Amino acid sequence: MTIFKRNLWTLFWLVVAIGVLVLSFILTSMWQATLRAEESHHQARVELISQSVTNVLRTQELILEVAAAELVRQDLIDTTPEVLPFLDSIMEASPALAGFGMALPNGQLVKVTSTVDVSLMPNLLEQEASREGFQRALDSDRLIVGRTYYLPAVGAWIIPARKAVRNERGEVIAVMSAGIRADGEKGVFGNNLHTGPDDSVMIFREHDGYLQFMSSEGVTPDMYANAHRTPEERAVDRLSLTEANGVTIDELKARDVPSIYYNQREGANYIGGAWYSPDYELWIISESNIRTVWRAFLERGLILLMVFLALLLLLFYLVRQIERAEHKRRAALMYQSRHDDLTSLLNRVGLIDQIQQLVNRDEGFGVVLLDIDNFRGINDRFGQEHGDKVLNEFARCLRKLASDQFGASRLGGDEFAVISRIREPENLLAFCNDLLQRLAREMASGPLRMQLGASVGAAVFPAHGDSFNSIIRSAHLALYQAKRTRNDVCLYQTNYEAGYLRRVHIEQRLRGAMSEMHLYMAYQPQVDVRGRVVGVEALARWDDEELGYVPPNEFVEVAESSGLMVELGNYVLDRSLADFRKILDEVREPLELSVNISAMQFMQLGFAERVLSALKQYGVHPHYLTLEITETVFMSGFEQVVPTLEQLRAAGISLSMDDFGTGYSSLSLLRKLPIDELKIDKSFVDNIIDDEPARNMVESIIAIGKNHRMRLVAEGVEDKAQFATLVGMGCGRFQGYFFSRPVLPEEVGALTRARNS
Ligand code: C2E
Ligand code: MG
Ligand code: MG
């Protein structure tokens, strides 16, 4: 079936070719049949006319013989011209006769029927038209048919039939002479034997080529006066006859059936039948212009041709319909393969196509990639169905806002792209910022009334990549950067490349670092208002052989984005508890341990159980442990987090809010949180001396903390003034370089003893 569809037109032309072949075959046979029919028509007509002519002439011969016998019997063969009534009565038997009579051997007509005016009769031997025929009658015993001519004595064109009358000695005593009408309305010599304008019936004399009789359109009897075929013409006639039949003219003459011939005269083609009458030496010919055959052929052939053309047209229409349907189907498939089912935007394949085309045109353009902020949270909280609605709405807004660009597409998930006409980096950046703002407005006023943000990465062709792969990669790097730095829009910069490569490198090395124990923990003491060490914060450290020292901020983030965080978190927890157990044993006074927990780790199912079993494993009482979390933990839903927090607290573990004040959580949210400690971020402590707002912020945090019976820890205390100010504000715990940098676990004991003694 597919072969048929693919070669539909070939098949069509094959059918046309076969059709034409069959049609030509049918038409050829039809032509042959028409020709044969015409041939039979001529044959039949020649036969019929020949019989009639023979009959008529025989009848004349008989009449002449009867009349001659009567004349001899009545002894009327003399020179007196007179009308004999008994001749009239004999003539009545033959209506074809114009008149007849008896002529003397000298050519003078003497005894006639009443139809002949004897005074007008010429001497038959002297008159040019009758001389030859009369002479031959004198020389012959047979009926002689003379040349057709006009006889004023009877007022008609006549075909003379003559027969000599002889005495016992064989001498001619008279010549019986009859005039058969050649211009009769009916009868064998009537001008109505032909069937149309291109058809004729002719009788020629073999003897001298004179036309004896002709029935044809537009023929008047005057033509008999000098109508005869020249010897050359007759030679041509004979040739066409002999050629068509493959026999000699004598053999043809001897035939008792008519012969068919084809011939060409004066630029026209004729078909005819001819028969020679040896008795009267006449050629009886039935002939038509080949046009008549064509006409008959076309009458039937045209119908066939029309039917054929109609069928072809129908077939053509069918093929066209099938082709169109196929075309539509293919277009639909093509559309499907290049468009996203959910949003009807171009999909990844469509985008690749679009960019490839633009790259081939070598015109500048911008690639803008968008990633909806926290889309996973939306999906988790409201379900996939709602998530789909959000994607659809986002797609609608994007399509609307990017309508003057090359187009929008969806790459999958919550990632979208706009291919922009803008090729200058600064303009593209402005466009992206504007697009984000308009998107936010559009989404807020749309049917879902959503507050939705997105991260945007942009790159321009060819400045940021001169091939499909490189431009897409650059845009992705920019998007990656935007997401990482939580910056709304990032335009590609070459250093992103290095940053990206470094992250990939860190990711690769980090896996090995955990198994090869290149990762270890440092501990930074936390002191009370008197400067005594009351606890330590465990901080991860990594000295890599290839990368050198990698700050925890950096590798924690890589671990979070590469799925290594849970493993890293477990590693940190185990190492810290193991170290802490040793420290406790060494210090022999109550110390507390703070461990940083990443949001991703915290969201893990069974996290609380994991912590409790680790505590048991290393023999550390839960009261000694504080888990530091950040506000990002609450980003994916407050309700989901609280049960875990409460489970941990119920077990006796404390919870601390790290970097407090830098995130987005509202103070009202804080009231609901089951939190034991607030860590005042270093950025506020840094400015606490000179910066009024920073100081106010710290005062508020301390007030809130006290209000909720929370412990307050100030981090990043670097000098005495900061310490004194914080003590003055009511903060109870401090951590910072002013007291100690993070130290190796072996050093914690000595440090504690030195400060606390
Ligand atoms: P953090 O939890 O807020 O840790 C405090 C950071 O401030 C530490 O940096 C510490 O060295 C630094 N710091 C303390 N006092 C001072 C000071 O007086 N001056 C200055 N300039 N810095 C001070 P560090 O170790 O580079 O850690 C950075 C961040 O990396 C941490 O911030 C924490 O968020 C993360 N981190 C470190 N270790 C871990 C870990 O084991 N697990 C997790 N999840 N995160 C960790
Ligand atoms: Mg911390
Ligand atoms: Mg902190």
* C-beta 626 within 6 A of ligand 1: no
Q: Specify the ligand 1 atom closest to the Cα of 522.
A: 25
CATH of domain 522-756: 3.20.20.450
DSSP symbols for 559-609: HHHHT-HHHHHHHHHHHHHHHHHHHHHHH-S--EEEEE--HHHHHSTTHHH
Cross-sheet strand order for the sheet of 259-265: 211-216, 199-205, 282-289, 268-277, 259-265
Distance 681 CA to ligand 1 centre (A): 11
Q: Specify the ligand 1 atom closest to the Cα of 659.
A: 3
Ligand with minimal distance to 632 CA: 1
- Rounded CA-CA distance 165/149 in Å is 23
Q: What is the pTM of this model?
A: 0.55
Distance 631 CA to ligand 2 centre (A): 12
CATH 3.20.20.450, the chain: domain bounds: 522-756
- CA contacts within 13 A on the Cβ side of 582: 13
pLDDT of residue 107: 92
* C-beta 107 within 6 A of ligand 1: no
* C-beta 572 within 6 A of ligand 1: yes
Distance 624 CA to ligand 3 centre (A): 19
- Rounded CA-CA distance 653/643 in Å is 14
Residue nearest to atom 12 of ligand 1 (CA): 716
* C-beta 743 within 6 A of ligand 1: no
DSSP symbols for 181-218: ESS-SSSTTSTT---STTEEEEEEETTT-BEEEEEETT
* C-beta 718 within 6 A of ligand 1: yes
- Ligand 3 is an ion; its neighbours by CB within 5 Å are 658-659, 715
Residue nearest to atom 13 of ligand 1 (CA): 716
Instruction: Quote the Cα angle for 535-536-538, to 5°.
Output: 150
Among 596, 602, 734, 740, name the best residue to mutate to test ligand 1's pocket (greatest count of ligand atoms within 8 A of Cβ): 596
* C-beta 101 within 6 A of ligand 1: no
102: closest CA among 142, 127, 137? Answer: 137
Rg of the chain in Å (alpha carbons): 64
Distance 476 CA to ligand 3 centre (A): 30
| In contact, 748 and 525? CB cutoff 8 Å | yes
Say how far residue 426 (Cα) sits from the centre of its chain: 42
Distance 655 CA to ligand 3 centre (A): 14
268: closest CA among 361, 211, 357, 198? Answer: 198
* C-beta 715 within 6 A of ligand 1: yes
- Residues 6 or more apart whose CB falls under 8 angstroms from that of 273 comprise 39, 42, 43, 45, 46, 258, 259, 260, 261, 285, 286, 287
Residue nearest to atom 37 of ligand 1 (CA): 539
DSSP symbols for 485-545: HT-SEEE--HHHHHHHHHHHHHHHHHHHHHHTT-EEEEEEEEEETT--EEEEEEEEEEEET
Residue 516 to residues 519, 567, 579: CA-CA distances in angstroms? 8, 14, 17
For residue 161, the tally of other CB atoms under 10 A from its CB is 26
- CA contacts within 13 A on the Cβ side of 680: 35
- Residues 6 or more apart whose CB falls under 8 angstroms from that of 626 comprise 535, 592, 593, 594, 595, 653, 654, 655, 656, 676, 677
- Rounded CA-CA distance 107/172 in Å is 12
Among 568, 715, 743, name the best residue to mutate to test ligand 1's pocket (greatest count of ligand atoms within 8 A of Cβ): 715
pLDDT of residue 95: 80
For residue 605, the tally of other CB atoms under 10 A from its CB is 8
Distance 718 CA to ligand 1 centre (A): 14
Distance 539 CA to ligand 1 centre (A): 6
- Each residue of 588-615: pLDDT tens digit? 889 999 999 998 888 888 899 999 999 9
355: closest CA among 429, 456, 427, 460? Answer: 460
Which ranges of the chain have pLDDT less than 70?
1-6, 184-187, 486-487, 635-638, 663-669
- To 10 degrees, the CA torsion angle through 563, 564, 566, 571? 180
Residue 299 in 3-state DSSP? helix
pLDDT of residue 741: 96
Which residue's entry shows tokens 């679009």?
354
Question: Is the Cα dihedral 59, 63, 64, 68 positive or negative?
Answer: positive
| In contact, 482 and 432? CB cutoff 8 Å | no
- Rounded CA-CA distance 326/4 in Å is 11
CATH of domain 27-291: 3.30.450.20
Bridge partners (DSSP) listed for residue 415? 371, 412
CATH 3.30.70.270, the chain: domain bounds: 348-494
Angle between helices 494-515 and 552-562 (to 10 degrees): 90
Instruction: Take residue 637 and report the two structure tokens written for it.
Output: 């839903």
pLDDT of residue 380: 72
Residue 349 in 3-state DSSP? helix
| In contact, 346 and 340? CB cutoff 8 Å | yes
Residue nearest to atom 41 of ligand 1 (CA): 540
Residue nearest to atom 7 of ligand 1 (CA): 716
pLDDT of residue 637: 62
Distance 484 CA to ligand 3 centre (A): 19
* C-beta 676 within 6 A of ligand 1: no
- Each residue of 126-158: pLDDT tens digit? 988 889 889 999 999 999 999 898 888 888 888
Instruction: Enter the DSSP assignment of 226.
Output: T
Q: Specify the ligand 1 atom closest to the Cα of 628.
A: 2
pLDDT of residue 630: 86
Length of the chain (residues): 757
- Each residue of 543-558: pLDDT tens digit? 999 999 999 999 998 8
- Rounded CA-CA distance 342/391 in Å is 8
State the amino acid at position 22 in one-letter form.
V
Say how far residue 385 (Cα) sits from the centre of its chain: 36
Distance 508 CA to ligand 2 centre (A): 25
Instruction: Take residue 92 and report the two structure tokens written for it.
Output: 């009545």
Instruction: Enter the DSSP assignment of 261.
Output: E
CATH 3.30.450.20, the chain: domain bounds: 27-291
Q: Specify the ligand 1 atom closest to the Cα of 538.
A: 41
Superfamily of domain 348-494: Reverse transcriptase/Diguanylate cyclase domain (3.30.70.270)
- Rounded CA-CA distance 205/213 in Å is 9
- Rounded CA-CA distance 445/438 in Å is 11
Cis preceding linkage at 197, omega within 30: no
* C-beta 736 within 6 A of ligand 1: yes
Say how far residue 196 (Cα) sits from the centre of its chain: 57
Distance 524 CA to ligand 1 centre (A): 9
Q: Specify the ligand 1 atom closest to the Cα of 551.
A: 26
* C-beta 681 within 6 A of ligand 1: no
- Rounded CA-CA distance 174/167 in Å is 9
Question: Is the Cα dihedral 499, 502, 507, 508 positive or negative?
Answer: positive
Among 523, 527, 539, 734, name the best residue to mutate to test ligand 1's pocket (greatest count of ligand atoms within 8 A of Cβ): 539
* C-beta 539 within 6 A of ligand 1: yes
- Each residue of 661-705: pLDDT tens digit? 776 555 666 777 789 999 999 999 999 999 998 899 899 889 989
